[in-house]
Amino acid sequence: MIDDIEVHFLELPKLDEHSVPSEGGLINWLLFLKSADTSYWEVLKMNEPGLEKAMDTLQYLSQDSDARRLYEARQKYLHDEASMLESAEMEGVKKVAKNMLEMNLDITTIVKATGLTEQEIKGLSKNS
């Protein structure tokens, strides 16, 4: 079990902030963590696309309470909208499955067409 664990020490103070590599990788994350100077952020984002989300989150956490409340309201709206769309899509799939049941199609065909499980389809036929 000891062979499965590796410990790495990364000394951020020794990292040269002015040597931004042209390719992505760990060095970009270290430069982001070390530097409070946002002038490097655009270059780092180009080299490491995943850093953009970390940068956005850091900026969010640094905002004043009113801006944070607006951001949270926007995030809640987006989450609620995605949930409603997912729910509506599932309703549509169930409606199609019910129609297929009414057309006397076999359950295996309905499973393949809708992606619902056999039990979900049987539940729909009981509710009809």
- pLDDT, tens only, 60-116: 777 778 877 888 899 899 999 999 999 999 999 999 999 999 999 999 999 999 999
Angle between the N-to-C axes of helices 65-102 and 107-114, in degrees from 0 to 180, rounded to the nearest 10: 150
Per-residue CA distances from 114 to 46, 96, 98, 106, 124 (Å): 40, 8, 10, 12, 13
For 22, the 3-state DSSP assignment is coil
The SS3 of residue 41 is: helix
Structural domain spans, the chain = 1-62
